Structure 1
Amino acid sequence: MDPLAATLKISASGLQAQSERLRVVSENLANARSTGEAAGDDPYKRKTITFESEFSRAHQANLVSVKGIGEDKAAFTVEYDPGHPAADVDGYVKMPNVNTLIELADMRETNRSYEANLKVMTQAREMVMRNIDLLRQ
């Protein structure tokens, strides 16, 4: 297989994985304050994403893919809000186990990884175009 085509495939798998990661981070941020509807109901559980490397025989390269999306096992925090519909008899409401600062850091890292994969793809495409230009001469 052509090394440039393999490079494009590797970058494309990275872009796809980081896109999925950004979706998970966005969902966590959107639900950072989503509580249960009634007393005793659990709030939103933070989602996590795991990746795996898989060897592609067609491209003779390791590609990244999403292994799975799970739920964070961290404990919920509680806030005192006796007027909330999900408050228990003592007035405490279970809050999601989402830490906004961690999610923002994950988002920044995801963005940088996505940009790096995009840059590799752009450079590989430019090399392919240069090869085509050389063949025309």
Structure 2
Amino acid sequence: MDNLRSILSVAASGMFAQGERLKVVSENVANAESRGTTPGADPYRRKTISFEEVMDRVTGTSMVTIGEIGRDTSEFALEYDPAHPAANEEGFVKVSNVNTILEMSNMREAARSYEANMNMFEAGRKMRSQMIDLLK
């Protein structure tokens, strides 16, 4: 087992997972202001992502992978807009259940986690390079 290879594998799996998390967050933010298009239609429902731990048989290390991309089942808020085509009889329209403040904090956390994994990957790469230089 190559410990330096394990470092690179773990860091790469973390970068992939956080990259996927950033994709989900960006999709949520992009659709945060969506509304239904017809009366009673649901607007965009917030996506969620979960991670799972998996054992890499080649390196023998524990890595992270995408568990599930699901949907937030919380209720939609109602906004009074009787002129909107999706307004119900009382003039209310369902609005997306995306909280942009929560999404921005998720984005910041994912970006920092990605950066930490990238730094770990770079450190492993440098150690491997130094080991090769010592063996020359």
Q: Percent identity?
A: 51
State the aligned residue count: 136
**How far 1:34 moved relative to its partner?**
1.1
Q: Structure 2 length normalisation: TM-score? A: 0.98
Match of 1:133 in 2: 133
Aligned to 2:100: 100
Aligned counterpart, 2:33:
33
Distance across 1 between alignment mates of 2:3 and 2:75: 47
Unpaired stretches in structure 2, ≥5 consecutive residues = none
1:61 paired residue number:
61
The separation in 2 between residues aligned to 1:131 and 1:54, in whole angstroms, is 28
The aligned runs of 1:1-137 (5 Å cut-off) are 1-136=1-136
Q: Within 1, Cα distance between the matches of 2:75 and 2:41? A: 14
Secondary structure, aligned partner of 2:49: strand
Q: Structure 1 residue runs of 4+, over 4 Å off? A: none
Give 3-state SS (helix, strand or coil) of 2:50's partner. Answer: strand
- Structure 1 residues 52-109: Cα deviation after superposition (integer angstroms, max 9, x where no partner): 0011121110010001100001110010011111111111000010000000000000
Q: Which runs of 5+ in 1 are unaligned?
A: none
Alpha-carbon distance between aligned partners in 2 of 1:85 and 1:115, rounded to the nearest angstrom: 44
**Structure 1 counterpart of 2:33, which letter?**
R
Q: CA RMSD in A?
A: 0.6
2:85 and 2:32 map into 1 onto residues whose CA distance is 17
Separation (CA, whole Å) in 1 of partners of 2:7 and 2:123: 10
Q: 1:32: how far off?
A: 0.2
C-alpha displacement of 1:132:
1.0
Measure the CA separation in 2 of the matches of 1:54 and 1:45.
29
SS state of the match for residue 93, structure 1?
Answer: strand
1:105 is aligned with what amino acid? S
